[in-house]
Chain A
Amino acid sequence: GAGVSQSPSNKVTEKGKDVELRCDPISGHTALYWYRQRLGQGLEFLIYFQGNSAPDKSGLPSDRFSAERTGESVSTLTIQRTQQEDSAVYLCASSFDRGPYNEQFFGPGTRLTVL
């Protein structure tokens, strides 16, 4: 496809369950980012992948959060033992490389609701 895609678009889960969110970046984009956007809040950086380098996990809020990326392709964000405060829109973005002027292209997001 032409843009970044994310699935599912909406996810409702019960507190304590695990969830997996998927991101398919634009083909050829070596950099991939995950952000969290809580209702009425700005974007909170979670994790950043760049090529084969070790990911920058400095934004992950707790050890319940983890993410993986297969090569320079799809990424999965996993939240274990979900809590109500995890409810948010999770946004994925990709860019061509880590060059400073390269813009990020965002997916439509996954809206996660934890009951």
Chain B
Amino acid sequence: AQSVTQLGSHVSVSEGALVLLRCNYSSSVPPYLFWYVQYPNQGLQLLLKYTSAATLVKGINGFEAEFKKSETSFHLTKPSAHMSDAAEYFCAVRDDKIIFGKGTRLHILP
């Protein structure tokens, strides 16, 4: 069965610092991977998705994720954090249905 593991339920970074949110997956080949974001009191929205066209995927709001098959990882990064990035981030993998990780809440420190 496919699954995702997000390391760290809470991550705090200073404004302007690098954001790194970790996601490891377990999947049959090929994996279909997604990152979703949930801003406070809002619904989930898609940040980016891996479609096998390129291992480095760029998403909205300056986020990107790199697919590394050897590490079974799909970590989310952003070079410089903004206060508006404070939210909960979910990694997901899809088979016939999408399975979500438990989420990582990102806190931005001024």
B49 contacts A45, CB within 8 Å? Answer: no
Q: Chain B interface (Cβ within 8 Å of chain A)?
A: 32, 34, 36, 42-46, 49, 51, 90, 94, 96-103
Specify the main secondary structure of chain B where it touches its partner: strand
A100 CB to closest chain B CB (Å) equals 4
A53 CB to closest chain B CB (Å) equals 10
Q: Chain A interface (Cβ within 8 Å of chain B)?
A: 4, 33, 35, 41-43, 45, 48, 50, 56, 91, 93, 98, 100-101, 103-104, 106-109
- B97's partner among A4, A33, A106 (CB-CB below 8 A) is A33
A48 contacts B90, CB within 8 Å? Answer: no
Instruction: Enumerate chain A residues within 8 angstroms of B94, measured Cβ to Cβ.
Output: 100
CB<8 Å pairs between A and B, sample of 16: A33-B97, A42-B90, A42-B100, A43-B44, A43-B100, A43-B103, A45-B97, A45-B99, A93-B44, A100-B94, A103-B34, A103-B46, A104-B98, A106-B45, A107-B43, A108-B43
